[in-house]
Amino acid sequence: MEKINVEERVERAVAFFKEGYNCSQSVVAAYADIYGYTTEQALMMSASFGAGIGRMRETCGAACGMFLLAGLQTGCTDPKDAAGKGANYAVVQDLAAKFAHINGSIVCAELLGLREKSQSGIGSPTAPQERNAEYYKKRPCVEMVRSAATLFGEYLNTQE
C-alpha cells in the first residue's frame, strides 16, 4: 500500500468536524476514498456513532470511526475465519489502547468529564448541541478527532 499523507487526512477530519459533522463521521470521511466510498456514503455509515454512539456518551465516536476504518482495512468476510476475526480484533484493541493512552479513556462521557466510569448514557438527551465558539472551547472533541485520524493514518502507513 502506498504511504498516505497523515497530516492531510487529519486536517481533513478536523475540517469535517468543524463543518458540523459528528466525530465519527469526520474520521471516517477523511479516509473513505481509500476504500472506494464516497464522502456521502462515509457520512451515512458513520452517522450513528457520534457523541459516544447516538449521543449516549459511551465509546467515543472518533474512536468508533477509527474502528470502523480498521474493519474496512482488516475485517474478514468469511464467518469461519477465526484467524481473520482475531487479527481484526487485535488491530482494534491496539488502536483503542493507543487512543486511551493518549487521551485517558475511550469513553465519551469520561473524555468530556460528564460522568464516572460506572454510569450508563442510555436515556441521555438526543438533541445535538449547537456548534459555536463556546462549544469548541469546552469540548475536547476536535482533539479526539485529531487523535483518532492520526492513529489510523499512522497504522495505515505501517501496512505493506
Q: Is residue 145 part of a domain?
A: yes
Instruction: Over range 121-132, report the average pLDDT.
Output: 54
Q: Which domain holds residue 41?
A: 6-156
Q: Is residue 151 part of a domain?
A: yes
Q: Is residue 112 part of a domain?
A: yes
Mean pLDDT score across all residues of the chain: 89
For residue range 69-115, list pLDDT tens digits in order. Answer: 999 999 999 999 999 999 999 999 999 999 999 999 999 999 998 87
Please give the Cα distance from 105 to 59 (Å, whole number): 9
Q: Is residue 27 part of a domain?
A: yes
What pTM was estimated for this model as a whole? 0.86
Q: Is residue 52 part of a domain?
A: yes
Residue 127 above 70 pLDDT? Answer: no
Total of domains in the chain: 1
Q: Is residue 1 part of a domain?
A: no
Q: What is the pLDDT of residue 128?
A: 59
